[in-house]
Structure 1
Amino acid sequence: MHKTLLLLLLVCFNTHSFAGKVSGTVYDEKNLPLAFASILVKENGRGTTSNQEGHYSLDLAAGNYTLIVQYVGYAKQEKKITVETAGLKLDFTLLPQQLKLNEVVVKSGAEDPAYAIIRNAIKKREEYRTALDSFTCEAYIKTLLKTRSLPRKVLGQKIDSATWKQMGVDSNGRGMIFLSESITRIAFKKPDKVKLEVVSGRQSGTNGYGFNFPTFIDFYENNVVMMGGQVAPRGYVSPIAENALSFYRYHFVGSFFEDGKEINRIEVMPRRKYEPLFSGTIEITEGDWRIYSLDLLLTKESQLELLDTVKIKQIQYEVAPKIWRTKDQVMYFTFNQFGVNAVGNFLNVFNNYNVTPAFKKKYFNNIVVRFDTGVNKKPVTYWDSVRPVPLEPEEVVDYKVKDSMFRYQRDSAFTKNYRDSMRRMQGKISVTNVLWNGFTRSNYDPKRWHTLQWNGLLRQTQYNTAEGLVLNSSATFSRAYPGIKRELSFTPHVRYGFSNGHLNAWGTIRYNRRSFWWDTKNTADEDASFKLSNFSISGGKRVSQFNKDEPITPLFNSVTTLFFNRNYMKVYENYFGSFTYSGGTQSGLKYKFNLLYEDRLPLDNTTDFSIIKYSTQKFTPNYPFEKITGQFVRHQAAIAEASFEYQPGQKFAQFPDYRVPLGSKYPTFTLTYQKGISNILGSDVDFDKWNFTITDQMNLKLLGQLSYRFDVGGFLNDRRVFIQDYRHFNGNQIVLASQYLNSFQVAPYYANSTTASFYSTAHIEHHFNGLLTNKIPFFKRLNWNLVAGSNAFYVNNNNNYVEVFAGLENILKLFRVDVVGSYLNGNKGQVAVRVGLGGLLGGKIRFE
């Protein structure tokens, strides 16, 4: 009886709560659909947004309501409705806003009325920026990316037909390649505490979480940042920034009345091209001077880099008396570079604002994004019930087709037919794969996943004066353990020098954490990523550079040796064994411990062959001749090393079974201690060496980005130190730039190496990111950016070095060219040019 009564009450409650669906389409005056129009329920503040085709839907309990529909540039419309059990279809037709121009006597040279309005808005900016001490809300986020055309190759990488099919594009390269939606709860408390709780997320064709981070765009900030600064690190000047009048021109378009309030529409125009500025319209309320809505555009002339255009539409509404927040925000973008023509949008719909929340103690901590354990496991019926924006027909198809393919792939991953099919798709191993491209082969068995990765032989071939032509081969064999989210791998190396006839072979075993696409289980342990650390064991006989940082790569050394008679790389052989253990803690502390044993053997030059001979240029010995007068004697070294890295204030995103660092506003500190242990396994070394490093990147917005690295260190004990264990300062003597912020671009490789009790180094560079060069007529069109800085080290009065440099980066989005001048021990050194990678794409490339 009680169960029957309870069931009846539940049915009655559900019938009352979701009595009817209100749906329809929002049109303009030409009967064309209005995409992303805002629909708000006046009585409860709930709302939705129309989709690309103007369709909307709302689930409402039975009762009387007033629906308010808004669209930037159109007159707001209200309709009273009565919701019953049956669905209600209700369309809206919005008319362009009829603007009224106040009677203004415009005299010659008189100021446009817009300027007075903007000045008032600027005065109120700080008040509205800090109006709330705290708030919570809920965001629906939908992200869409479609290609209009796609080449068969992008940046030299071929896209095969199977990849096209998996991406979801047709034979012409058109299709939806990314679609996701999510529900995220947002909490904020002054001055800068934020927490996001991702309730649900989905991504078409995967079991991923989708794009879950709201694209907060606050025009009350002086500097407007979009997508975490990824679109443009400098940000953009708000039309109502404190100094906006120096950047923008304004024109009063007219005003209109809504709800008894006068709204002023103002056209925003940049004063200069190639500045980080918006163009478009912004609507400001009369009297209280707050943002009502905006429709702003960024183009290449706004210093957009990767994207071609970005259009932002935003509607504000009153969430509490005299408190306004963003209701709807959509950011459209276009991309047409490298042969890829694509369009997309980020849609954010904010609901359920609470401007007086009560947070639990320690609610705000170093976890700023937390994903619910069932974030990607919600059924389709759930999304149909919570989604405030109806899916478009092509989105429905995309979800249906790609999700079906993913489920089939996942469910059939255990079947023999699927494994056989995937193996066949890997193709045959060709001579080209073996010699140049390399290849990867997997057995596609989720229970016993094995993978072989082969590195192309010719890509590893090198030449040096100690070994002559060197042939390297390496491969990695991996075994996955999905149940414990671990992977065991073995990488053997074989190296043969044709001139000295030496064969070297060594290998590395690694036991690391990783995730697997077919694994649908979550540990729900937020500390799992710290409880499982990684380790590796290596051993054998190998060839190493005297400086373990390898200041010159084998490829570059091969070129300088064969064509310029310069054998900069200095190497020795060693029998070795090494054990490394690494991990981290919840606070963000990373640690690594290493034990190394080397039996070090000298290598002398065995060939003087070069393609181009220079009578005045002779090869140098194969040891750091600038520092030691002769070849070292064979010896043994047992070395223990401990390294600790910590960044205070580190923030994290907590996924259901792992944690990802998101960075911090503070620098990163690293402490390393190295102990040379004598009389263990015949070890001849005896020293204690330490190093402390501070690194950081500071985004100064419009002023650019400042990066620095400072080191101090020295030898507490140098009773027996061999050249391999000196403190080496990473020099560079070739035209190609070495690693920025960790090397000296025109310093010698070993001349300044030391065993001093104390030394210090400094690296600092400023990326102007368009500042200054956007004033130069030619450069502002090229988006070549200025970079400048200095590198220095100091050991004592007889061993010190300073270099200063200035250059241009972002050349073809990839390259950087610097002019460097140096001073060694107080004396003027050389002036040289260095060419490296830097800029939008080049700055992201890392060589391992």
Structure 2
Amino acid sequence: MRLWTFTLLISIYFFYSQTSIAGGIRGTIKNTKGEVMPYTSILVKNTSIGTMANEDGKYEVTLKPGTYELQFQYLGYQVLSKSVEVGDEYVTVDVTMQEAVVQLNEVQVGSSDEDAAYTIMRKTISMARFHMLEVDSWSARTYVKGTFRVIDVPFLLKGALKKSNIQVGTTYVLESINEISFQQPDKVKEKAISIRSNLPPGSQPAINFAQLNIYQPAFFGIILPLSPKAFNYYRFTYEGGFEENGKWVNRIKVTPKIKGQNVIEGSIYIVDQLWSIHSYRFKFTDENGINYNLQQIYNLTQDVWMPIQSEITVKANIFGAEGEARYVTSVRNYQLKINPKYHQQPVVVDEKIDKEKAAEVRKQKIDTETALKQKELTRKQLRQLSREMEREDRKERKERGEDVTVMRDYSFNVDTLARKRPSSFWEDERQVPLTDTEIKGYKQADSLYKANEDKIKKDSIKSLPRFRLTHLIFGHTYNYGKQPENEWYPRTFSFDSPLLNLNNPDYFIWNNMGFFNTVEGTVLRTRMRYTERVNKDSRWSLEGNLRYSFERNHLNGGLTFSRGNQQQSFSVSAGHNIFQFNGNNPIPEGVNTVNTLLWERNYMKIYEKTFASIQWNKRFTEKVSFSTSIAFEHRDRLVNRTEYSWFDFKKRELTSNDPSNIELQDQTAFPDHNAWIWASSLTIRPFAKAGIYNGRRYLINNNSPVFTINNRSGFGDVHFNQLELSVGDEFRLLRGGFRYLVRGGLFYGPQKPNYLIDFKHFNGNRTRFQPEGFDFFRLLDYYNYSTTHNYLQAHASQQINRLLFTQFTSLRLYGIRENLFVNALLTTETNVYEVGYGFRGLLKILGAEVVTTFQNGKYVQTGFRLRLGFN
């Protein structure tokens, strides 16, 4: 989910090669208690050279003969400077760091009853956008180092771990030298110059520079302390400050108002009067229960505070798989191009604290050209000024022909020589010496690889794409060709087993193994798909599926060819297969199997269709997309062929395969007939933006409503026209996520559908298990209220951070999430409303819901539903 979660827990590994270093400085950094100071930042003044200590507090830096001044910096400690003379050999300089003397700043505390932290944070938040924009572009060289260790794995995964030559308890490391450049508003180019790792041969992934801009309002759903909404989520406490290089640095404690997932806590250090970030240390837990610790240190570079060191540690324990990772980054050789329009230092007046001064300042006329040079500005004036200046910037970019719809543009490449650099290259570039644990990890891995060299070669041959008997049971994906860096394989062939398919996550829970229904009896199905990527942006695929019914002794199947890219796609399908009356498949076949065999409830209703169709999809821009299709269908009615069930309930019996429907007075049986169906859909996302990754565009639809216009027409033995409009969105509200969908439609023209298949259906549910999907009702019958008349349906859900179970901090941190929801259906036949409560996150995949239904203003029933899945 998060970029650095994936990087740290899946693909961080290391290679180490000891090298001899000609001359420089090395030593150990401790505090006054004798404790080592891991990852202390070391800068060589008046040069672009910098490094950091390792986990054991040891550091070393290569330098030519001469006299240098070293600056040692650690979060919460006084900056220490030392002058050192370097010759042709190493000079040992051990350092003792003193804790920063934190004292109250009387000017900041003031006379207000409010904690001084709040006015500091308000001023810093008001300047956040200016600090984000004050550097037009920058380039730097980064040293990235990650370590990863598997602590324990469940029994089922030990075989896979052994096959990959990864040992439990061994420390794996990866280090990379990257060149990175940034250009406003958010264009990043990164290139890995050299990579070393002690991962098993053939597996040396690249590692990128994890960028966390603390000035932005949010990061992957986490509200950050400099967000304008921060005061809704956090309490701030002033803990004093200290002086550093003539600047006063405030220390602010950040505490969540409601402890739980996706909120941070820790300390942030802010440079007084400049309202710039000096450093921070935070921790948080994500929705998967993974614990993170973040730390970043800034330094003054060309009169701008820029991050020079980052550290991220991760600890995870999911379903018995336990691991830990650490990711450290050192940045040097900064080259900045400063934007003078934003790089100013006005005196920020806090209206809430100094009302008289604010009233006086508000009388001043704001000129966007000179406003920041004015001595005093209120927070409100700064917000207005920021909007106006960014509006002007956007206009100028548009006039220059730049694509202003692009929100992010990131490219990451690996140099062809990245894994072939000689030891001499690393003598100059390695900025953090390896720890004893990492050296041990390298030696253990090296010994393992040498001892199993022949086996590894044999395993690599075995891993080439070839068939095995186990693939018939579990399914498999075969990859062909050489996989480019950060790309897919050129060709793949996947096979989904009809028995116990573990190959396709879409089938995993309810649509996995063989099925049973009263029409077909026992059913087995399989799917095969071949995909070839023509280039980075284009591919074509051929997919076939088979479905065999033992009761009917009948084989169904279909074939689909598709070709497309990011902008458009084209597909042709044909076959003879089984379909539910509601094409949205409201009941998973696995759920229907369980209900039929255990509880004698056969809710799924199906028919057979011979078909051929053509579909075209086009994305004109990120805001507008269109799709259209034409299909010929020959439809056959099916009837029950078996009444088999494991248990016989006296007051219950299996129902006909003809669904119940009020409008048709339950006369839903239909003759075999032909139909031509033409469907078109126009989707509009008015505020959508684009992102670019390695030249490929993708959609970013943050906080933008989605409007859809659908039209469906029938010809041949059926005649109808249906128009449908919908709008939906998802955004944060009341400290949680709010989501809604409203959909309405009608059938127009002289004729309406004759057969239930073409009615408007609503996704109902009669089983104990609630399917995934937002537009599902919980207790609604599947086909009773399907209609050919006007209809309106609405769905809304609000996640509540602290409701029932989430009142307990331990349960919130565990991952329990609660929500309230409302569903409504209005047709000419009935008005149905559902009001419910639900929670999820138990054992990571379990959830439950309680829902009450009202029909035509009267109470009908209260039901209970189970949810199974990660969403």
Q: Same fold (TM over 0.5)?
A: yes
State the one-letter code of the partner of 1:422.
Answer: S
Task: Show the 5 A alignment for 1:449-488.
Answer: 451=493, 453-457=495-499, 459-467=512-520, 469-476=521-528, 478=530, 480=532, 486-488=539-541
Q: Residue in 2 aligned with 1:574? A: 609
Q: Residue 259 in 1 paired to residue 241 in 2?
A: no
Quickly say closer, same or farther: Cα 1:472–1:63, change in 2 above 3 A: same
Distance 2:670 2:741 in 1: 33
How big is each residue's C-alpha offset from its partner over 1:670-709, in whole Å with a ceiling of 9 and x where there is no partner?
A: 3332221x3xxxx212222232332322134x71111122
1:772 Cα deviation from its structure 2 partner:
6.7
Task: Show the 5 A alignment for 1:237-256.
Answer: 243=231, 247=235, 256=242
2:316 pairs, out of 308, 322, 335, with 335
Q: Residue in 1 aligned with 2:186? A: 194
Task: Show the 5 A alignment for 1:571-720.
Answer: 571-585=606-620, 587=622, 589-626=624-661, 627-628=663-664, 629-656=667-694, 658-676=696-714, 678=715, 683-700=716-733, 703-717=735-749, 719-720=751-752
Q: Residue in 1 aligned with 2:778? A: 745
Number of aligned positions between the proteins:
752
Alignment RMSD? 4.6
Q: Residue 95 in 1 paired to residue 97 in 2?
A: yes
- Answer yes or no: is the 8 Å Cα contact 2:104–2:239 preserved in 1: no
Task: Show the 5 A alignment for 1:484-633.
Answer: 486-498=539-551, 501=552, 503-512=554-563, 529-530=565-566, 533-585=568-620, 587=622, 589-626=624-661, 627-628=663-664, 629-633=667-671
Quickly say closer, same or farther: Cα 1:487–1:279, change in 2 above 3 A: closer
Q: Residue 392 in 1 paired to residue 434 in 2?
A: yes
State the one-letter code of the partner of 2:294.
Answer: I
Q: Residue in 2 aligned with 1:67? A: 70
- Answer yes or no: is the 8 Å Cα contact 2:290–2:317 preserved in 1: yes
Q: Residue in 2 aligned with 1:174? A: 170
1:746 Cα deviation from its structure 2 partner:
0.7
How big is each residue's C-alpha offset from its partner over 1:615-649, in whole Å with a ceiling of 9 and x where there is no partner?
A: 32233221222243141111111112223434344
How big is each residue's C-alpha offset from its partner over 1:499-538, in whole Å with a ceiling of 9 and x where there is no partner?
A: xx3513222133456xxxxxxxxxxxxxxx436x444333
Share of identical aligned residues, percent?
Answer: 21
1:455 Cα deviation from its structure 2 partner:
1.2
Structure 1 portions without partners, runs of 5+: 1-19, 105-109, 407-412, 514-528, 844-848
Q: Residue in 1 aligned with 2:816? A: 784
State the one-letter code of the partner of 2:775.
Answer: N
Distance 2:531 2:270 in 1: 62
Distance 1:778 1:81 in 2: 51
Distance 1:645 1:784 in 2: 34
1:368 pairs, out of 408, 426, 431, with 408
Distance 2:718 2:781 in 1: 26
1:210 pairs, out of 189, 207, 212, with 207
Distance 2:239 2:831 in 1: 59
Q: Residue in 2 aligned with 1:830? A: 861
Q: Residue in 2 aligned with 1:794? A: 826
Question: Which is further off, 735-744 or 28-37?
Answer: 28-37
- Answer yes or no: is the 8 Å Cα contact 1:774–1:783 preserved in 2: no
Distance 1:390 1:280 in 2: 26
Q: Residue in 1 aligned with 2:462? A: 421
Quickly say closer, same or farther: Cα 1:611–1:368, change in 2 above 3 A: same
Question: Which is further off, 36-45 or 573-582?
Answer: 36-45
1:803 pairs, out of 834, 852, 862, with 834
- Answer yes or no: is the 8 Å Cα contact 2:170–2:444 preserved in 1: no
Distance 2:65 2:833 in 1: 77
Distance 1:277 1:341 in 2: 23
How big is each residue's C-alpha offset from its partner over 1:709-744, in whole Å with a ceiling of 9 and x where there is no partner?
A: 222222233625221111101111111113342111
| SS across alignment from 1:555 | helix
- Answer yes or no: is the 8 Å Cα contact 1:637–1:684 preserved in 2: yes
1:478 Cα deviation from its structure 2 partner:
2.4
| SS across alignment from 2:79 | strand
- Answer yes or no: is the 8 Å Cα contact 2:124–2:226 preserved in 1: no
Distance 1:357 1:297 in 2: 33
Q: Residue in 2 aligned with 1:356? A: 338
Q: Residue 814 in 1 paired to residue 845 in 2?
A: yes
- Answer yes or no: is the 8 Å Cα contact 2:171–2:441 preserved in 1: no
Q: Residue in 2 aligned with 1:122? A: 121
Question: Which is further off, 684-693 or 283-292?
Answer: 283-292
Distance 1:371 1:83 in 2: 40
1:748 Cα deviation from its structure 2 partner:
0.9
Distance 2:784 2:694 in 1: 52
TM-score (norm 2): 0.74
1:606 Cα deviation from its structure 2 partner:
2.8
Quickly say closer, same or farther: Cα 1:428–1:240, change in 2 above 3 A: closer
How big is each residue's C-alpha offset from its partner over 1:525-577, in whole Å with a ceiling of 9 and x where there is no partner?
A: xxxx436x444333232121111011112222222223323221111112222
- Answer yes or no: is the 8 Å Cα contact 2:26–2:61 preserved in 1: no
- Answer yes or no: is the 8 Å Cα contact 1:466–1:604 preserved in 2: yes
Distance 2:688 2:495 in 1: 35
Distance 1:792 1:641 in 2: 26
State the one-letter code of the partner of 1:34.
Answer: M
- Answer yes or no: is the 8 Å Cα contact 1:195–1:369 preserved in 2: yes
- Answer yes or no: is the 8 Å Cα contact 1:810–1:816 preserved in 2: yes
Quickly say closer, same or farther: Cα 1:623–1:802, change in 2 above 3 A: same
| SS across alignment from 1:125 | helix
Distance 1:130 1:736 in 2: 47
Q: Residue 144 in 1 paired to residue 146 in 2?
A: yes
Q: Residue in 2 aligned with 1:736? A: 769
Quickly say closer, same or farther: Cα 1:203–1:589, change in 2 above 3 A: farther
- Answer yes or no: is the 8 Å Cα contact 1:120–1:289 preserved in 2: no
Quickly say closer, same or farther: Cα 1:57–1:803, change in 2 above 3 A: same
Distance 2:227 2:573 in 1: 59
State the one-letter code of the partner of 1:647.
Answer: R
Q: Residue 159 in 1 paired to residue 168 in 2?
A: no
1:598 Cα deviation from its structure 2 partner:
1.1
State the one-letter code of the partner of 1:73.
Answer: G
Distance 1:93 1:40 in 2: 14
- Answer yes or no: is the 8 Å Cα contact 1:23–1:55 preserved in 2: no
| SS across alignment from 1:75 | coil
- Answer yes or no: is the 8 Å Cα contact 2:796–2:823 preserved in 1: yes
Distance 2:563 2:203 in 1: 24
State the one-letter code of the partner of 1:129.
Answer: A
Quickly say closer, same or farther: Cα 1:345–1:718, change in 2 above 3 A: farther
- Answer yes or no: is the 8 Å Cα contact 2:192–2:413 preserved in 1: no
| SS across alignment from 2:764 | coil
State the one-letter code of the partner of 1:331.
Answer: I
How big is each residue's C-alpha offset from its partner over 1:52-82, in whole Å with a ceiling of 9 and x where there is no partner?
A: 4556566889987643221123331223467
Quickly say closer, same or farther: Cα 1:129–1:777, change in 2 above 3 A: closer
Quickly say closer, same or farther: Cα 1:771–1:652, change in 2 above 3 A: farther
